[in-house]
Amino acid sequence: MTLKNTWWKALGALLICYASIAGLVGNVPRLPILNETIRNVYFHVPLWFAMMTLMSISMYKSFQYLRKGDISLDHEAYSFAQVALVFGVLGFTTGAVWGNFTWGSPLPLDPKLIAVEIGMLIYAAYFILRGSFDDEQKKARLSAIYNIFAFAAFMPLVWILPRVTDSLHPGNGGNPAFGKYDMDSSMRMVFYPAVIGWILIGIWISNIKHRIEKLEYAKKEQ
């Protein structure tokens, strides 16, 4: 394993360590209602950025599979989608904890939360679909098509529709975007490295998962 293949993995780990430590002990603005819970922006939001990135890569790999027919691309799309959903669950959980302190309920009837729940169920159905077929080629083709449509449904569902209605989330329904007023320059020095770190770690985990998928497939084909 060369330095060329490992530097970005080390960078991702270092950025997450830095963001975690700085996020827990660094200074943050003392804002009404948010108070110390504003530290969750270093964890909740970067996890969602990472999830979106992994979903985008998964969709691209599915598109590539439909063009080239290489089963390895389907396995790669599956691996990225798996890690994306795990990151989504982690982001949803940290958001629920945050909402419990700031909104008085972990799961209020908020349009964006409802959209996220529907979107995650759409992706959960992707894994159910894959488990419904024994034939690898048929499973790969149908899963790739579904994955592309799932991505096309998830993005507007989560990012566009909540913006046209009232929402508790910043940046939606006329509610000012969070960073515009609340995130100072010192917070950005932690927030952006956290985003990059979680994206890199997500890609790393997905690559490991893909290697496992390849080994299991090769063993099955023997």
Q: What is the number of structural domains in the chain?
A: 1
- 19: in domain: no
The helix (H) or strand (E) run that includes residue 55 is helix 44-68
pLDDT score of 139: 93
Domain presence at residue 13: no
pLDDT (0 to 100) of residue 183: 66
Residue 179, pLDDT score: 52
Residue ranges making up the domain that contains 129: 41-221
**In a domain? residue 33:** no
- Given this model, what pLDDT does residue 178 score? 52
Per-residue pLDDT reduced to its tens digit, 120-141: 999 999 999 998 988 889 999 9
Residue 177 domain-assigned? yes
Whether 62 maps to a domain, the answer reads: yes
Could you give the angle at the alpha carbon of 140 between the alpha carbons of 136 and 145, nearest 5°? 155
Q: Are 209 and 70 in contact (CB under 8 A)?
A: no
Place of tokens 């997905």: 206
**Would you say residue 4 lies in a domain?**
no
What is the spatial distance between Cα 97 and Cα 107, in angstroms, rounded to a whole number? Answer: 9
The contacts of residue 205 (CB under 8 Å, 6+ apart) are: 83
- Residue numbers in the chain where pLDDT is lower than 70: 1-4, 32-34, 167-183
